[in-house]
Amino acid sequence: MPRKRRGGWCGCFGGGDDVPEITYGVDNGIGLQPMELSTPMPPPEELNVKFAELVDELDLTEPHRQAMFNLPDEKKWQIYCSKKKEQDDPSSTSWPDYYIDRLNSMSTLTVFAPDEEEIDVRTKLADSLKTALRTQPMRFVMRFIELDGLSCLLNFLSKMDYDTIESPIHTSIIGCIKALMNNSHGRQHVLSHPAGINIIAQSLSSENIKTKVALLEILGAVCLVPGGHRKVLESMCHYQKYASERTRFQSIINDLDRSTGRYRDEVNLKTAIMSFINAALKYGAGEDNLEFRIHLRYEFLMLGIQPIIDKLRTHENATLDRHLDFFEMVRNEDERELAKRFDTVHIDTHSATSMFELLRKKLSHTTAYPHLLSLLQHFLLLPRVKTHPHHWVMIDRLIQEVVLQYENGENPDVAPVELNVKQMMEHMANEDELVRKQKEEFDKEREEMRSHLEKKERECEAKAEEKEELMNALNQMKAKLERETASLIEAQQQISLLSQELSSVRAAASKGGPLPESNVPVGSGVSAPPPPPPAPMMGGAVPPPPPPPMLGGLPPPPPPPMMNIPPPPGAPPPPGGPPIFGMTALDTAGQQRKKNLPKPSNPLKSFNWAKLPDAQVQGTLWQDVNDALAVKVIDLEEFDKTFSAFQRTKDDEEMTIIKSKSKELSVVDGRRAQNCTILLSKLKMTNDEIAKAVMTMDQKEDITKDMLEQILKFVPTPEEISLLEEHKHDIDQMARADRFLYEMSKITHYEQRLKSLFFKKKFGERMSECKPKVEALLHGSKETQRSKRLRKLLEVVLAVGNYMNRGNRGNAVGFRISSLNKIIDTKSSIDRNITLLHYILETLQKKLPDVYKLEEEIPHVREAAKVSNTELQKEIGVLRSGLKECERELEFHKNRTTARGDKYVSVMSDFLTVASLRFSELEDISVNAKDRYSRVLKHFGEDPKTTPEDFFGVFDVFLQSFSEAKVDNENYKKKKAEEEKRKKIEQERLEKERQRKASKQGKQGNRGKNQQGEFDDLISALRTGDVFGEDMAKLRKNRKRPVGPVGVGHGKKPEYSRERVGMKAGKKF
C-alpha cells in the first residue's frame, strides 16, 4: 500500500512530510491572508451547498473531500469567497491564459543567458503554475489542456539551453508536468501526446540530481499506468538516439554506478533508478511474460548492473536495499521458472557450452534437431569481421523478435526489426503443401489397398465361419445319428422280444392254456402291440403295416429327402414358378382386345394409371368405348414432342431434341431414379458385377449388408418392368437407373434372391442378438429361483414388514416382489436421508455378511431385465419365417434348370443346413427359458401373466438401490468418523480463502488507486517500494534457497565482471 502522507486535506500535493498550508488564492507561493468579507455568511445549510459545489470542482479524493468538509464554517466561507473573487477577475493568476503567455515568452528568451534574478522569477512562475495545477478547480486544468498548455511545457523543454537545463527552472517545469499528470484528464492528455514522453525523457541529459529524480519517478509511475509501459520503452530508444548512446539504458546504469563528487552519497537518485528498473521489469508486458522479463533484464545485466548492486548495498539504506532485493528475487524466480522448462535446477547463462547442451538434449530425436545443426553450420560460415559484427547483431535482433512477438504480430518491446513472424510461419507452412498433397495421394493408394485387403479378409472370414458352422453342424448331426442309432437298436431289441411273446401268446391261445407273463420290463416305454391289420381293401391291395412304435413316444424318423426327383407329369408348377409357355389367360384376353392404335414417332413418358382388368369390362361403359376413334382428334405430332421421354431444351420458343450424345431415356419416377443413381455411385460396381454377385450369392463379399439393404429398396416393380420392356430397344439411351432396373429384371426371382442373400448375411448377426437374450432369461430365472441369499433377504424383509405393520396390514405370510422397491420409500424419523433399506443393509453387514453380497449370486438378473419378451419372440419369428422363405425359394430353384453361373442351390443348401441346426438349438433354449420363467413366477407367487421385463426389472431396480445404499452407508460412516477433522480443515480453508480474497481485493484496490487516484501517491509508493510489497512477500517464501550464482549474497565476482566485460564488448560495436 502506498504510504499515507501526513497533514491536512491536500497533504498529497506536497513533496515532504511537513503539514502543508492551504494556499488557495496563492500568487507566487504567498500564503492565504485573512481577508475582510464584504458579503455576510449565509446560513449553514446554504453554505454547505455552495461549498460542496466548490469542492466538486476541485476533483479531490474522498479523504481530502472529507477534510475540506470538516473545516469550520468561517474558513469554508473565506475559501469560497476567495475562489469566487479569483474566478470573477480574468487578470488573476487563477486563469491558465496568464501562465501560457508567460511560458511562451520564456521559451523565446532562452537564447540569452539569464541572470540569477531572472532565474528566480521564472522558477517562481513555474512553481506557481505547478501549485495551480494541483489546487485550482477542475475547470482550470481543462482550460489549460484546451489552450494546449502541455505543448507550451514540452516546447520549453525542447528549446532549453545548457544553463536552463541545469537550473531549478528545469526541475520546476518537470514538476508542472508531474502536477498535470496528477489529474486523470491531464495524465490521459500527456500519454496521448505523440512525442510527450520522448521529450520528457530528454531531461535525463541534465546533471541536476533533483531533475533526474523527478523525471525517473514520472517514468517509473508511467510504467504502472495502462498503456504507459510501452511509451517509456519507446522514450528510452528515443533518448538513445538523442544522447548518441551505444545501447538503451546506458546513461541510467552509468548514473547508478557513479560514486564520486555529488553522486557519492546521493541515495535518492540511486533509489529512483532502481525503482524505475523494477517497474520496467515487473509491470506492463513483464507482469505475465517471462520471455520479456528475461529479455529486458539481460540488457541491464550486459550493462553490468549486478556488480553495481553489490556495491550499492554498502550504503545500508533500507529503501534502496528493498529495491535491490526485489530485483534479485524476481531474477531468481524467473531463472527457476526457465530451468523448469528444461527439467533442470539451474541454467548457467554465462556458459555457452551449458546452454548448448540443454538445447541439444531438448531437441535431440526431434524434427527440429537437424535445423539446429544447420544453424550452427551456417554460423561457422559467417564472415569473420572483428570490428563490425553486424551479422551477429542482425541475427540477435531477429531471434529477439521471434521470441517476443505475440500471436497478433505485436511486440511488447520496441521492435528492433520490422518482421511479421506469424506471416513467415504461414509462408513456411505453405512450403509443405506439396509434401502434404503427395502424402494424400499415398494415403489414397494405401486406402485403396487396405479396402481391397479388407475385402479379401471378409471373404476369408466368411469362408472360415462357414467352414466352422459346417463342422459344428456335422458334429451335431453325427451325435444325433449316434443317439438315433442307439434308440433304433434298443427299439429293435424290444420289437424282437415283443414278437417272441406274441408268438407265445398265440401258441398258448391256440392250445387254450394260460397266457404266459410278459418278459418286457415295465416302464420301458413300449406301447401295446398294434391291432391286427384290417381286411384287405377292394382290388386286393393290402395296406402297408403300421410303423413299429418308438421308445419314449419318439416320432418315427423322417423319410429320406427326395434328391432332385422331378415332379410327376401333369403336376402343377410350384408356386412362384414361371407360367407355362410364358403366357397367362389374362395376357391372351388382352391380345384379343388389342386395338390397332398409331405408333408414336419416339418413346413417350409413361401415364401411371390403374388398369381395369379385362374380365371386369363386361357390362360397363368401357365395353362401348372406342379409343381408336378418339385418337383421331389428337395432334399426334405435337403430342409426341410435348410428352417425349427424351430430355428437351427450349430455344427460340421451339422445342428441339438434345443431341444424340446427351439423350437419356427415363421411364422411372424422377425421385426414385435419382436415389437409385446415388446408390449405384456409392456402390462403385457395374451392372454386370452386381448381377454376377447376385447370381453367385455374393461369395466374394462384394456387397455389404448395408448396401444390400438399400438395393432391396430398388427392386423393379411390375409396372416398371412393363415400361422398360416397351423401350428395351433403346437400352443404350436409357438413364443409369433405368438400365440397372432393366438388367436386374432379367434375373429370375431377383427380389427373392436378394431377400435370401440379405437373410443369409444378417442371419449370424440376428442369432448373436437373440441368443444372449434367451440365455439371459434362462440364467436369470435359474439364479433367482436357486439363490439362498435372496431367500434369506426376503425373510428379513418379511420380518421387518410384519414388525412395522400392525393390524390388517401385518401378519403377512408373503409379499409381492414389487414391494422390494418400496423399502427405500420408508424414511427415518431422525434423518430423512436414511431409509429402511440403509438400515436393513447395515443389519445384514453386521449379522448376515453373506447376504450382504447378494449381487454376486444373481449376476444375470440385470441383463434379463433388459430383454423384451415381445420383441424377442418377434425376432425369433423373423428368423423362422426367413428360413421358411429360403427353403421355399430353394425348392423352386431345385425344380428348374440352373443357369450358368447360378450358385443359389449350392450356396443356400449349405447355409440352410447349418442355419436350421443353429435355429433349432435357439428354439430349444427358448422353450427351456420359457419353462424356467413360468416356474420362477410360480416359485415367487407372482401373476403368471407377468412379463420378464416387469419381473426382472423389479430386481434390477432393487439391486441398483442396493448398491447405492451400500455406498451411502460407507460414506456416512466415513463422514461420521471424520466430521470433526473435516470441520477443522474446512474452517482453516475458509480462513485462508478469506485472507486470499482480502489480499487480492487490496491489491486490486491499490492498483485501481494507482491508476485512477493521485499520481503523487503512485510515485510515493514506487519510491518507497510499497507497490512491490505483495510480490516481495511471495518471493520471500521462495528465497530460502537461492538457485544459481545470482543469489542475494556477495560472491562469484568473476561472473559479475564477465557481465561488465560484455558491456564493454557491446561498446565496441
Q: What is the mean pLDDT of each run of 10 residues along the chain (1069 residues)?
A: 35 36 38 53 81 72 78 81 61 70 74 71 88 82 87 89 88 90 86 91 90 91 87 90 89 88 81 91 84 87 90 88 90 87 82 86 84 83 70 76 65 61 56 72 85 82 77 79 88 89 84 63 45 42 42 41 41 41 39 60 64 67 62 66 59 43 71 90 89 88 88 90 85 87 90 91 90 92 90 86 75 84 84 84 86 88 90 92 92 87 89 89 91 90 90 91 88 80 77 68 47 64 76 61 41 39 35
Looking at residue 627, its pLDDT comes to: 66
Are the CB atoms for 273 and 256 separated by under 8 Å? Answer: yes
Distances (CA, A) of 652 to 637, 646, 655, 656: 19, 19, 8, 10
Alpha-carbon distances of 715 from 726, 745, 886, rounded to whole Å: 18, 8, 18
pLDDT at 1049: 39
Cα of 199 vs its chain's centroid, Å: 52
Amino acid at 860: H
Evaluate whether 779 touches 860 at the Cβ level (below 8 Å): yes
Q: Residues in the chain, how many?
A: 1069
**Residue among 915, 907, 922, 927 at smallest CA distance from 884:** 915
Dihedral pair phi/psi, residue 654, rounded to 5°: -130, 140
What pLDDT does residue 94 have?
56
pLDDT at 852: 85
Q: How many CB atoms lie within 10 A of CB 737?
A: 22
Tally of CB atoms within 10 A around 666? 22
Torsion of CA 973, 978, 983, 988, to 10 degrees: -140
Q: Sign of the C-alpha dihedral, residues 691, 694, 697, 699? A: positive
Nearest to 421 by CA among 433, 432, 430, 410: 410
Q: At 656, which helix (H) or strand (E)?
A: strand 654-657
For residues 947 and 869, what is the distance between their CA atoms, to the nearest angstrom?
7
Burial class of residue 228 (count of CB atoms within 10 Å of its CB; 0-12, 13-18, 19+) = buried
d(CA 749, CA 751): 6
Copy the grid coordinates of residue 952.
426382472
pLDDT at residue 531, as a whole number: 46
Distance of CA 128 to the CA centre of its chain: 64
What is the spatial distance between Cα 97 and Cα 109, in angstroms, rounded to a whole number? 19
pTM score, two decimals?
A: 0.43
pLDDT at residue number 978: 77
